[in-house]
Amino acid sequence: MKKLFAVTLGILTAFGGFVDIGDLVANALVGARFGMSLAWVVVVGVIGICLYAEMSGRIAAVSRRPVFDLVRERLGPRAGLVNLGASFLINLLTMAAEIGGASLALELATGVNYLLWVPAVAFVAWLVMWRVKFQTMERVFGLAGLALVVFAVAFWKLGPDWGELAHQLVPKPPPDEGTPTYWYYAIALLGGAMTPYEVFFFSSGGVEERWTSKDMVTQRANVFVGFPLGGFLSLMIAGCAATVFLPVHAEVESLDQMILPVGLGLGRVGLVLVIIGVFAATFGATLETALSSGYTLSQYFGWQWGKYVRPERAARFHVVVLVVSIVAAAIILTTIDPIMVTEYSLVFSAAALPLTYLPVLMIANDPDYMGDHVNGRFTNFLGSAYMVLLIVVAVAAIPLMIATKAGQ
């Protein structure tokens, strides 16, 4: 019964923690402009993150070492440093977007300008990372993120034209949208689903929770049930936007517009729940991105790391977490639009996807680390196919961003 509870709780945590500010922004923007014509990208992204998260969790369970701890050892210091630099900068940008999202949620709840909330969000996040146990932290905010299920309920209550939505599922741009813009947002959606910090956090979290090869059922259930349910929630966000905004040709440009369909469908109670869900999801992602920054840097340089050791024994790890929290908050305090930061972070994440996932694929195939738990033929085939896709996405991401003026 205890094992079943752990698996169930892990699934719910993965479900509630899947949607962060990137998924919220990308799916709402795409739903408002393209309807459900990019729903297939969410499916591709969920399969991809499941594939590579399972590999990273298996690596952690078998080797009892996180992925990035093996990157320098397997790829060498120079290649590992390139990987570290790209991952660290994207984590920082993503964390700034998450702090902005949590602050915007607090602005909606209180009416106080989000900029005044930014230092408080960053400070409380650092305090939680310093003092709260890993498992408690992960479960509290993951489960609170389940409040975002109100998007699914609101979608049903809005009474969409199901025939029209089915027609929109055809994977092609609407008549009034250009093909380059369509593919630009496809890349942004993929970047939102396969954000690099997810695999580093998942792998390091497995070590924090002391997974072994006996915990394969737990980690695979978290991946193969929790992530697809989170993908379903992403589709519900897009469906709400497609139902409310697409028919009137209205673009989504702010967080209050993104959650408006929930208010229309479920009233004040729905709005309260969705604000709670948005805050929990973005604050939880703030913790994950900050910890991922500390994990990657500490693991590359061989420092003591993790919340399972006393802070004084992992001082450099906690200093990194503190510094990235301050810098990420400072980025948002420049008054740059948090939604714009989110959009750019998604595209840069997409551009760096091969650097994130190639080491995972290599290590998962190395018998020196994995023994009898190396990838099977089907996993290798699928992983290699995705690697080709991610390379294409990485090559196209920045040129499409320039050509479309970031989706204008």
Are 358 and 75 spatial neighbours (Cβ–Cβ below 8 Å)?
Answer: no
Residue 308 covered by a domain: yes
The Cα–Cα gap between 221 and 80 comes to: 30
CA dist., res. 75 & res. 356, Å (int): 12
Local confidence band at 26 (pLDDT 50, 70, 90 cut-offs): confident
What is the number of domains present in the chain?
1
pLDDT tens digit string along 114-171? Answer: 999 999 999 999 999 888 887 777 777 777 878 888 999 999 999 888 888 888 888 8
What the block records as the tokens of 276 is: 């709670």
Q: What DSSP assignment string belongs to 276-295?
A: HHHHHHHHHHHHHHHHHHHH
Domain for residue 194, yes or no? Answer: yes
Q: Evaluate if residue 15 carries a pLDDT over 70.
A: no
In a domain? residue 4? no
- For 55-89, the DSSP string reads HHHHHHHHHSS-HHHHHHHHH-HHHHHHHHHHHHH
Q: Give the CATH number for residue 239.
A: 1.10.4160.10
Is residue 408 included in any domain, yes or no?
no
**Range(s) of the domain holding residue 300:** 11-403
pTM for the full predicted model = 0.89
For 269, the token pair is 């109670």
Percent pLDDT > 70 in the chain is 95
Q: What Å distances lie between residue 144 and 1, 112, 141, CA to CA? A: 23, 22, 5
DSSP string computed for 221-247: HIIIIIHHHHHHHHHHHHHHHHHHTGG
Which amino acid is residue 60, in one-letter code? A
